[in-house]
């Protein structure tokens, strides 16, 4: 495990069983001025994550032992204070969707481009730190209590007329991740389409 620096506001935790991926991400983020602590498996990471919250977590979805999904569940990722990005291969969209449903902030597909990863991580950290603490307030429409905090944020953007792309840009996540949340919201609220969703939310 590399430099256990006490300042975790600039620390990124990389959790991947592939040493080549850990090394590559460490080099990229250290060049950008971050501290990187890497973990080869989920157990060591969970122990560290429970004692110190980093700026961001990059978590591989496929690992021997505990998978990325198991780790998200154990960590209660939806309520974790740092954004958790899932690394997934291109055939892993169902897995990425599952990860987002379990609280992952967003997903990054392999093979990835270093500049893109850095940009996405910076946006994620910024979006998370700009999140208003008051966003926990429960809107009063039927089913509001079924939604996670992130789903309520996405819903707010959608009912405000934002496209998936605009909502993603505002929240620091990919449009594809917005789609996953949108589908989940519609399923939970029993909405058939976007117009229906707006009616449910604004009709109260």
* SS3 (DSSP) at 153: helix
Q: What is the mean pLDDT of residues 64-74?
A: 90
Sheet holding 106-109, edge to edge: 35-39, 11-15, 56-60, 84-88, 106-109
- 141 and 194 in a common domain: yes
Q: Does a structural domain hold residue 80? A: yes
Domain shared by 122 and 138, yes or no: no
If asked whether residues 159 and 86 sit together in one domain, one would say no
Backbone angles phi, psi at 12, to 5 degrees: -115, 130
Which of the four pLDDT bands, split at 50, 70 and 90, describes residue 1?
very low
In this predicted structure, what is the pLDDT of residue 50?
86
Residues 194 and 116 grouped into a single domain: no
Q: Which domain holds residue 197?
A: 133-202
Q: Hey, what are 10's tokens?
A: 């600039």
- Between 1-15, 48-62, 152-166, the lowest mean confidence (pLDDT) is in 1-15
Read off the pLDDT band of 39 (50, 70, 90). Answer: very high
122 and 170 inside one domain: no
Which three-class secondary structure string do you get for 86-112?
EEECCCCHHHHHHHHHCCCCEEEECCC
pLDDT over 70, % of the chain: 90
Count of domains for the chain: 2
Give the CATH number of the domain where residue 92 resides: 3.40.50.2300
From 110, 129, 148, the end of a domain falls on 129
Residue 3 inside a domain? The answer is no
Q: What is the mean pLDDT of the chain?
A: 85
* CATH code for the domain of 185: 1.10.10.10
> What is the Cα 64 distance to its own chain's centre?
21
Do 168 and 186 lie in one domain? The reply is yes
Report yes or no on 165 lying in a domain.
yes
Kindly state whether residues 70 and 19 are assigned to the same domain: yes
Alpha helices in the chain (DSSP H): 19-31, 42-51, 68-75, 93-101, 114-129, 149-159, 164-171, 175-189, 194-202
Could you tell me if 86 and 28 lie in one domain? yes
Percent of the chain residues past pLDDT 90, beyond the cut: 41
């Amino acid at each position: 495990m590399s430099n256990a620096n006490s300042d975790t506001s600039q620390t990124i935790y990389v959790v991947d069983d592939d040493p080549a991926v850990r090394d590559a991400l460490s080099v990229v983020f250290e060049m950008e001025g971050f501290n990187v602590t890497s973990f080869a498996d989920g157990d060591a990471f969970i122990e560290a994550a429970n004692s110190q919250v980093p700026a961001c977590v990059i978590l591989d979805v496929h690992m021997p032992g505990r998978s990325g999904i198991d780790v998200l569940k154990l960590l209660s990722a939806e309520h974790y204070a740092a954004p958790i990005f899932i690394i997934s291969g291109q055939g892993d969209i169902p897995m990425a969707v599952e990860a987002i449903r379990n609280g992952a902030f967003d997903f990054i597909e392999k093979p990835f481009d270093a500049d893109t990863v850095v940009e996405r991580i910076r946006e994620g950290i910024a979006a998370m730190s700009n999140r208003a603490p008051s966003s926990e307030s429960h809107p009063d429409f039927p089913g509001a209590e079924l939604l996670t905090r992130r789903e309520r944020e996405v819903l707010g953007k959608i009912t405000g007329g934002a496209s998936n792309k605009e909502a993603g840009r505002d929240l620091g996540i990919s449009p594809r991740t917005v789609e996953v949340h949108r589908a989940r919201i519609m399923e939970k609220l029993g909405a058939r389409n976007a117009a229906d969703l707006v009616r449910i939310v604004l009709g109260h």
